[in-house]
């Protein structure tokens, strides 16, 4: 089967950190995370590979390996694939 997923491509007023699950089954999960007002998604790891896509606004993805931090810009249409268990955080930037 299939499911059409509508993604909000505008950052509207709301709570500083909002997570909306758009799709989930036994093999995959798609969630839309909206960060507002310089909110930070604190450093964490996920035990499966993930894809981060910036839909609107700007931010910074920070990837850590225990020795150094790599900072990547998140702009609309940016897609970044991360392997499982990669320590990372995201910082929303004012646009």
Rounded Cα gap, residues 12 and 22, in angstroms: 18
Helices of type H across the chain: none
Average pLDDT over residues 49-65: 94
Reported as a single tens digit per residue, the pLDDT across 27-48 is 999 999 999 988 999 999 999 9
| Three-point CA angle 37, 42, 43, nearest 5° | 145
- Predicted pLDDT at 1: 80
Reported as a single tens digit per residue, the pLDDT across 70-95 is 999 999 999 999 999 999 999 999 76
- Predicted pLDDT at 10: 86
Parallel, antiparallel, or unpaired: how do β-strands 17-24 and 58-64 relate?
unpaired
**Rg (alpha carbons) of the chain, rounded to whole number:** 14
- pTM comes to 0.87
Residue 70 Cα distances to 57, 73, 87, 89, angstroms = 20, 10, 11, 11
State yes or no: pLDDT of 18 exceeds 80.
Answer: yes
Rounded Cα gap, residues 46 and 95, in angstroms: 28
């Amino acid at each position: 089967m299939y499911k059409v997923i509508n993604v909000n491509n505008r950052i509207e007023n709301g709570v500083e950190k909002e997570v909306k699950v758009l799709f989930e089954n036994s093999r995959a999960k798609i969630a839309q995370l909206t960060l507002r007002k310089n909110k930070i998604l604190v450093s964490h790891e996920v035990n499966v590979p993930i894809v981060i896509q910036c839909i609107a606004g700007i931010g910074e993805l920070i990837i850590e390996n225990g020795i150094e931090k790599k900072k990547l810009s998140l702009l609309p249409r940016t897609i970044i694939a991360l392997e499982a268990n990669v320590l990372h955080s995201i910082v929303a930037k004012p646009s």
